[in-house]
Structure 1
Amino acid sequence: MPSQTLKYAYFPGCVAQGACRELYQSTEILTRTLGIELVELKKASCCGSGTFKEDSQLLEDTVNARNIALAEELQLPLLTHCSTCQGVIGRVDERLKESQTADPAYLEQVNQLLQQESCTPYKGATEVKHLLWALVADYGLEEIQRRVTRKLSGLKCAAFYGCYLLRAQTQLAYDDPYQPESMENLFRAVGATPIYYRGRTQCCGWPISSYATTESFKLAGTHIQEAIAAGADCMVTPCPLCHLNLDSRQPEVEKVIGRSLGLPVLHLPQLVALALGVDPKALGLDNHIVSTHPVLEKL
């Protein structure tokens, strides 16, 4: 175990509590199994997934300054399991920390708006951290490897990082934004074989799905086909929005590209928890649109 209990202010986001409930389930089970303590931010609000700033940057910054301030009240890092939430909240945190010296008047404007709603002001005193970074950097790959009871030998996993996790922030402390290895290293730690393919760090297509659906599905289809061609048994993503476009909409993607795919797409905590011996049903692996049975048969 790490030298001290890891504890985070947990920001589950919207999608994991609705369309991807299995992500919420598997995160809770994984962290409990590893002895990581989560204090859920019940009063937190949606990060906006990048849409708030289309109307107002101040709106996005104020809403998420409030989310960060809730974690600051607990004197804990804010933990998210959604790449989009990480990208949005992490970038707001970065921007407001820069404002402390570069534009203190702007930060004061944000805090005045929070004060009007009787909210705690933003201080810039904590960190926004995705579950992936918490596992790799805080818990440690060696310790995760030591906890493995069901080695995922023979399972070929294609990471799908997407774009928000890697490039929404100007500084990325834990990986290379263009040639990342965190997920692949995690796959190796649990005994799986990482698969590399061109689209692993590109957009899944979700952000344009509401107004350019065909193009969105073609983009998702390209990534899935590349992963299959590279020999993947499954995709693994750290983002529920990516999961929606790659798994939930895969049947629609197949119609657009005119080809059968059938590639299972796992949430990151599902994969790690499987290696720790957790029952697949408890992880919600039967809730996916594309059957995960081929993955379980491999194990």
Structure 2
Amino acid sequence: MTSSTAAKPLRYAYFPGCVAQGACRELYQSTHALTRALGIELVELKKAACCGSGTFKEDSQLLEDAVNARNIALAEELNLPLLTHCSTCQGVIGHVDERLKHAKESDAAYFDQVNGLLKQEGCSPYRGTSEVKHLLWALVGDFGLAELQQRVTRRLSGLRCAAFYGCYLLRAQDHLAYDDPYNPQSMENVFRAVGAEPVLYRGRTQCCGWPLSSYATETSFKMAGGHILEAIAAGADCFVTPCPLCHLNLDSRQPEVQQVIGETLGLPVLHLPQLVALALGIGPKELGLERHVVSTRPVLEKLGIRG
């Protein structure tokens, strides 16, 4: 297992994103509970803007780059890496960071154009000095799985977890330092560290269908339903996802998905920090587990936890 590389307490500029402050408030809640328990300091970027979830570039690549250059510049002002807990935010902001770092070396005119827009708004310039990092990568690469395992007070023995990575976390960036984009293992390694059993199934690295849901709803729900059925067939007790948009399609819309595919599902869907925090002894209410559409009670009962 990966050992902790941190010589001092971990500190991040925290980009919570939109969904975790609205429809998936339990993700915001559980991220704070987890990081507090691990002694990780989050400096929330209160002035940050929505990353655009990939839609800004449909109108203008410059728009997406300028908005997210500003987001990264806010972290650079603090001399901290930017931490996300949403795969979509990670994919969009991380890809902008890669593109602008490349432009800094090879396309000075474009780089200056982006910073010119930031200057017009009275913002600090983007320098390309911070790293954009998902909470999963922070746990695996910075905190370390060996250290995480030592912090476990409630091993999740017997719980069979199916990771749902989705697409943005793995394939939006050109370089993925912490995992293999086609055969990832980081979430499965986290499961093992907290005592749970990973369940492998075909759809764990595929799209959940959320991007289609506004204009091809039935197709979106069939995609989600297919993934859920595969995980159930593989013996999963729950899905665990690092993306709140995946969570919305797999959990919040699971009753509608059932109607479209004509199957009864009922598979609980946990956010990554909820799962890890349970293993640290944090209670279900503190993690917002009662907010889920699909009841998480079967997970808690299997672990012998009273909700």
TM-score by length of 2: 0.97
Which residue number in structure 2 is paired with residue 212 of structure 1? 216
Distance 2:207 2:108 in 1: 34
Q: Deviations over 1:209-239 (max 9, x none)?
A: 0000000000000000000000000000000
Report the equivalent of 1:12: 16
Deviations, residues 116-137 of structure 1 (Å, cap 9, x unaligned)? 0000010000100000000000
Deviation at 1:101, TM superposition (A): 1.1
* 1:102 to partner: Cα distance: 1.2
Which residue does the alignment assign to 1:161? 165
Residue 84 of structure 1 is matched in structure 2 by 88
Q: What does residue 152 of structure 1 align with?
A: 156
Structure 1 segments, 4+ long, off by >6 Å, are: none
Q: In the alignment, which residue of structure 2 is the partner of 1:113?
A: 117
**Residue ranges of structure 2 left out of the alignment (5+ in a row):** none
Deviation per CA, 1:15-70: give whole Å up to 9, x if none.
Answer: 00000000000000000000000000000000000000000000000000000000
Residue 63 (structure 2) aligned to one of 59, 62, 65: 59
SS at match of 1:194: strand
Return the offset for 1:3: 3.0
Alignment correspondent of 2:129: 125
Letter in 2 for 1:67: N
How many percent identity over aligned positions?
80
- For residues 287 and 244 of structure 2, the distance between their equivalents in structure 1, rounded to whole angstroms, comes to 15
Q: Which residue matches 1:43?
A: 47
Number of aligned residue pairs: give it.
299
C-alpha distance in 2, partners of 1:90/1:163? 14
Report the alpha carbon displacement of residue 80 of structure 1 after superposing the two structures with TM. Answer: 0.3
1:24 aligns with 2:28: yes
Cα deviation digits, residues 154-189 of structure 1 (max 9, x gap): 000000000000000011000000000000000000
Letter in 2 for 1:110: V
Aligned counterpart, 1:200 = 204
SS of 2:155's partner is coil
Alignment partner for residue 266 of structure 1, among 254, 267, 270?
Answer: 270
Q: Distance in 2 between matches of 1:76 and 1:223?
A: 37
Structure 2 residue identity aligned to 1:222: G
* In structure 1, distance between residues paired with 2:104 and 2:71: 18
Distance between the aligned counterparts of 1:104 and 1:289, measured in 2? 49
Letter in 2 for 1:85: C
Give me the whole-angstrom Cα distance separating, in 2, the residues matched to 1:103 and 1:132.
32
SS in 2 for 1:286: helix
CA–CA distance in structure 1, aligned partners of residues 146 and 120 of structure 2: 47
Q: Distance in 1 between matches of 2:122 and 2:152?
A: 46
Separation of aligned partners in 2, 1:208 and 1:109 = 33
Normalised by the size of structure 1, how large is the TM-score? 0.99
Distance in structure 1 (CA, Å) of the matches to 2:284 and 2:152: 15
Residue of 269, 273, 288 corresponding to 1:284: 288
| Structure 2 residue corresponding to 1:68, chosen from 72, 81, 94 | 72
- SS of 2:259's partner is helix
Aligned to 2:232, what secondary structure does the other structure show? helix
Partner Cα distance (1:22, 1:273) in 2: 12
1:295 to 295, 299, 305: 299
1:103 corresponds to which of 104, 107, 113:
107
